[in-house]
Amino acid sequence: MAVDGEPVLEVTAANLRFAGEFALDAVNFRMFAGEVHSLMGENGAGKSTLIRALTGDLHLDSGKIRFYGHPLEFPNPAAAQRAGISTVYQEIDVLPNLTVAENIMLGREPRRWGFIDWKQMRVAATEALSALGVDIDPASRLSSHRLATHQMVAIARAISADVKVLVLDEPTSSLDQDEVAELFRVIRELKARGVAILFVSHFLEQVYEICDRITVLRNGKLVGEYLTPQLLRIDLVQKMLGSDANRFDILNAKQSPPIERDGRTVIVRARGIARRGRLPATNVEVFEGELLGFAGLLGSGRTELARLLVGVESIDAGELTIDGVRRRLRKPRQALHIGLAYSSENRRSEGIIPELTLRENINLALQAERGWLRRISHHRQTELTASWIEALDIRPTNPEGLARHLSGGNQQKLILARLMALAPRLIALDEPTRGIDIGAKIEIQHLITDLVDAGLTVIFISAELEEVLRVAHRIVVLRDRQIVATVNPNVATIEMLLSLVAKAEDDE
Amino acid sequence: MTRFFRSRLVWPMGALVALVLLNTISRPSFLSISVKNGQLYGSIIDILRDSAPLMLVALGMTLVIATRGIDLSVGAVMAISGAVALQFISKSTSPNRVGTVLIAIGIGVFITLLLGLWNGFLVAVVGIQPIIATLVLMLGGRGIALLITGGFITTITSSPYAQMAQGHLLGLPLAFFFSVGAIAIVGLLVRRTALGVLTESVGINPSASRLAGVRSRGIIWSIYGISGLLAGLAGILYSSNIMAADSNNAGFLIELDAILAVVLGGTSLRGGKFTLSGTVIGVFIIQTLTSTITFLGVPPAVTPVFKALVVILVCLSQSSRVRQYLGRIRHLRAAKPPIRLSGLETEVLAERKSG
């Protein structure tokens, strides 16, 4: 239902930098009344940044925001909400210990003589709910309801003012199928009332089911705006992931031979490993000395599978065999002890210790392994640090500098150094090249292939199919938390991977 | 010199010097030290002696805060160790024997070590928020102490026990040596082993530490144990000073002074990097402040008002917004472009980099 005419909300040439890096680079985006618009992109594409800029939570360095044609910028989210732009964030921000009515009317409780008018409050809440076609008792405690209801209440709170624009950030990530259907019914209702809806989700199925228009961002840049029926799923995925093919020429075809399955030792064998709410039963094998790529979109289960395989999270069901011995790994510490290491995709929250020095960061895992009583001498620490800084070419080279001052690429190297100091047998690298510039990216790819040539086994997770195809010996493709194929990169093509990742047959 | 001014200790140091100056101006005798019977006397000496219990407690608190925790139970724990030690001595047939006193102290401190480990168990294993977990013992501890003494204030006569808080060594109060000893031992423990850096790592980034294989549970657990043990020793010193187990008043509200000393010293309540030397300065600031207020003739009951003022000043000086504001003024004066990043954007930046 493409509506031509004036957009309700429009942003042009939006620029926003964080510490010199572009978070948004000349992005255009518009929303029309009575239309569901989806913002698509991988991690770091700029989706959240754009949403926060639109709702007054962040301020653009340059660029224009127009609301019904009038240029304006909201000083804060409250001002945006007053103007009719409401946001329901990913982490549903409701208060389960309050009643449904209290949640809906939070912050604008009807008053009488300065006191809250409870009766009026329940009436208003009931109206807001019935407008969404939801029939629940407003006096009941929110915690007694399902998660989908929490979502509805959050939406009811967002729209009970006269809403023009509704932003839903990953609203379905914790809902089951029926709950999603219920949410979609509400979305359609709002759409019919002429609300412009921004629906952000990494579930392609849902985007294609509910959205009229799609805008794709990649690395803070606008890739394009498309009408959903005119954009094939496979093209969408390609646009999201991008293709840096020509820029990877420096990293030539792998020298290492492809895997001959027989005759190779299996390091990790997973039979039906699963974890509730994270990954259904999955089988996979990791061979000694291989560089195994995991390809898949955000939310495909690529991270979940890796975390279960190397014992960062424990499995609920199934069997994990490491070097032929069945193991129950409950924490990373146990896994590290038998030579399995994991480097997280969230370098800042799960990787570096920002306020500690390079030396302390690099020696952390080794020191933890030795225990606090057997401190590595300062001299030895400095030696180790210097050798890793040189081996991985970490810059700046000052071992007493703080880790937080390093760039993304160097932080990744720092984490690699920390893990390599333990001399592990297998490392799972979750998006080691995300958000770092092209030069550092190639450098890290080289480092990884060199480590594999030296006998290390690596699980390499990346959102960039090009990269996986180029680096890996074998590729496991995931979609919707399932392994859909295992591919030999010597015969596979980007198109083939794309169609596997995006489930292209639906478009035919 | 620039290095000195950049150091985190420069502000607390400055505050301490200012306090001492203030005192000296209003009371020139403040810095004077007299010798009687080969022992030193004077306001400074009093501060060194009286600060000992707070010093012990604050050292433990520093480590607890570094793990992102807090230990509210230290005052109650002090009451318990005093009650246990004095009860043992009062029941003993030879209260003046050094052996008896040593055993009494040993039992008292051992019990408080167990209490500290109990706190650590609640925080690290059960996963209760530190403020709640230690609140349990803060409320219950004084009751336990009263149970031990049978509801009375146990008083004793035991010259070796009295020596600890009241005795002298090399002309200086013995209690001061307890402070020095504790500073030295805790300092060696955290900086000569890897306990300090692992504690900081857990305090700064628990999930990254977990992925690096740090035993955060064990570390947090033992840190609370250390805090309990130090509070126990502080309780012994306190009861030795008054030779009574006063369960209601021993270490009353000392947790607040200890937290204040830690924060004054420059260790952030958000955990992570900590500085023991900062805490030492913080303790002296508080003790000097207390003695200043007493000297100025302000009734002791009003002391909290002055402490509150200090707290506000400290909080303001640590607030990132105020710092940015001051930084901006400084930048404007230097005719440089103002800082573009506001506090909000810095947070967003951090978030963006992480996710």
Residue B286 lies inside a defined structural domain of this protein: yes
Q: How many residues are recorded in chain B? A: 355
Other CB atoms within 10 A of residue B303 CB:
15
Q: What is the ipTM of this complex?
A: 0.80
The encoded tokens of residue A400 equal: 């007493």
When mean pLDDT is compared across A378-392, B155-169, B258-272, B276-290, the lowest value belongs to B155-169
Q: A360 vs B344: CB contact, 8 Å cut-off? A: no
A57: nearest CA in chain B?
B344
Domain annotation covers residue B322 = no
Cβ of B211 within 8 Å of Cβ of A19? The answer is: no
First to last CA, chain A: 22
Q: Which residues contact A176 (CB under 8 A, 6 or more apart)?
A: A148
Q: Does B204 contact chain A (CB < 8 Å)?
A: yes
Whether B247 has its CB under 8 Å from any CB of chain A: the answer is: no
State whether residue B339 sits within 8 Å of chain A by CB: no
Distance from A353 to chain B by nearest Cα, in Å?
A: 6
Query: Which of A491, A434, A500 is CA-nearest to residue A467?
Result: A434
| Pair of tokens at residue A291 | 């560089």
Provide the b/e sequence for A454-492 (b: ≥16 CB within 10 Å): eebbbbbbbbbbbbbbbbbbbbbbbbebebbbebebeeb
- Give me the residue label for tokens 């998006």: A431
> What confidence score (pLDDT) does residue A491 get?
86
Task: Look at residue B32 and give its three-state secondary structure.
Answer: coil
Alpha-carbon Rg for chain A, nearest whole angstrom, is 25
Amino acid letter, A320: L
Residue B282 maps to a domain: yes
Amino acid in the structure at residue A272: G
Across chain B, mean pLDDT equals: 85
How many Cβ atoms are within 10 Å of A396's Cβ, its own excluded? 12
Of A23, A332, A355, the CB nearest to B211: A332
* Residue B15 placed within a domain: no
CA distance A416 to A426: 12
Could you tell me if B50 lies within 8 Å of chain A, comparing CB atoms?
no
Q: Let me know if residue B16 belongs to a domain.
A: no
Asked if B211 lies within 8 A of A350 by C-beta distance, the reply is: yes
pLDDT confidence of residue A48:
81
The domain containing residue B174 runs over which residues?
47-302
Give the number of C-alpha atoms closer than 13 A to the C-alpha of residue A411, restricted to the C-beta side. 31
Q: Which residues contact A127 (CB under 8 A, 6 or more apart)?
A: A160
pLDDT for residue A272 is more than 60:
yes
In the structure encoding, which two tokens stand for residue A279, read together?
Answer: 């990954």
Instruction: Search chain B and give the residue with CA nearest A52.
Output: B348
- Cβ of residue A380 closer than 8 Å to a chain B Cβ: no
What pLDDT shows up at residue A358?
A: 93
Place of tokens 């990954």: A279
**Do the chains contact at B348 and A355, CB–CB below 8 Å?**
no
Closest CA to B19 of B309, B318, B245: B309
Does B156 reside within a domain?
yes
* Largest Cα–Cα separation, chain A: 83
pTM of the prediction? 0.74
C-alpha B101/C-alpha A394 separation (Å) is 58
Question: Which candidate from B193, B204, B344 shows the least CB-CB separation from A355?
Answer: B204
> Does residue A49 sit at the B interface (CB-CB below 8 Å)?
yes
How large is the average pLDDT for residues A479-495? 87
Contacts of A332 in chain B (CB under 8 A): 210-213
pLDDT tens, residue by residue, A307-361 = 999 999 999 999 999 988 999 898 899 999 999 999 998 888 899 999 999 999 9
The two beta strands, A196-200 and A482-487, are unpaired
Q: A interface mutation test: which of B197, B209, B268, B270 has the most A CBs within 10 A?
A: B197
- For chain A, domains (ranges, CATH) are 9-241 (3.40.50.300), 245-350+423-507 (3.40.50.300)
Distance to chain B for A336, nearest Cα, Å = 7
Q: What is the C-alpha to C-alpha distance for residues B193 and A367, in angstroms, rounded to an integer? A: 10
Name the residue with higher pLDDT: A309 or A146.
A309
- Token pair listed for A295: 């390809």
Does A396 contact B at CB distance below 8 Å? no
Q: Kindly determine whether residue A408 and residue B193, on different chains, have CB atoms separated by under 8 Å.
A: no
Which residue in B194, B208, B344 is closest to A372 by CB distance?
B194
Contact between residue B77 and residue B232 where contact means Cβ atoms under 8 Å apart: yes
Q: How many domains does chain B fold into?
A: 1
Compute φ and ψ for A68, nearest 5 degrees: 50, 40
Domain contains B121: yes
Of B61 and B153, the one with more pLDDT: B61
Look at residue A483 in the predicted model and tell me its pLDDT. 92
**B336/A contact by beta carbon, under 8 A:** no
**B278 falls within a domain:** yes
Q: Is A355 on the interface with B (CB under 8 A)?
A: yes
- Can you give the pLDDT at residue A367? 94
Contact assignment for B213 to A369 by CB distance below 8 Å: yes
**Residue A225: closest CA among A52, A14, A37:** A37
Q: What is the pLDDT at residue B334?
A: 53
B149: left (phi over 0), alpha (psi -120 to 50) or beta: alpha
The alpha-carbon gap from B285 to the nearest alpha carbon of chain A, in Å, equals 27
DSSP code at position A141 = B
- Residue B120 phi/psi, 5-degree rounding, is -60, -40
Name every chain A residue with its beta carbon within 8 A of the beta carbon of B345: 18, 58-59
pLDDT at A386: 93
A58 min Cα distance to partner chain B (Å): 7
- Mean pLDDT throughout A204-233? 88
CA distance B45 to chain A (A): 36
Cβ contact (<8 Å) for A349 and B354? yes
- Whether residue B345 lies within 8 A of chain A, CB to CB, comes out as yes
Mean pLDDT for B17-30 is 84
Q: What is the pLDDT of residues A52-85, one digit of tens each?
A: 888 888 888 888 888 888 888 888 888 888 888 8
Contact status of A15 with chain B (Cβ, < 8 Å): no
User: How many other CB atoms sit within 10 Å of the CB of residue A179?
Assistant: 19
pLDDT tier, B135 (very low <50, low <70, confident <90, very high otherwise): very high
Model confidence at A24, pLDDT cuts 50, 70, 90, reads confident
Q: What pLDDT does residue A285 have?
A: 93
Q: Does B344 touch chain A (CB under 8 A)?
A: yes
- Across the interface, do B204 and A408 touch by the CB < 8 Å criterion? no
Please state, as a whole number, how many other Cβ atoms lie within 10 Å of the Cβ of residue A219.
16
Whole-angstrom Cα distance, residue A363 to residue B201?
11
The per-residue pLDDT for range B324-337, each reduced to its tens digit, is 777 666 666 554 44
Beta bridge partners, A317, equal: A274
User: Amino acid identity, residue B30?
Assistant: F
Q: Please check whether residue A234 is in contact with residue A498, taking contact to mean a CB–CB distance below 8 angstroms.
A: yes
Instruction: Please say whether the beta carbons of A240 and A45 come within 8 A.
Output: yes
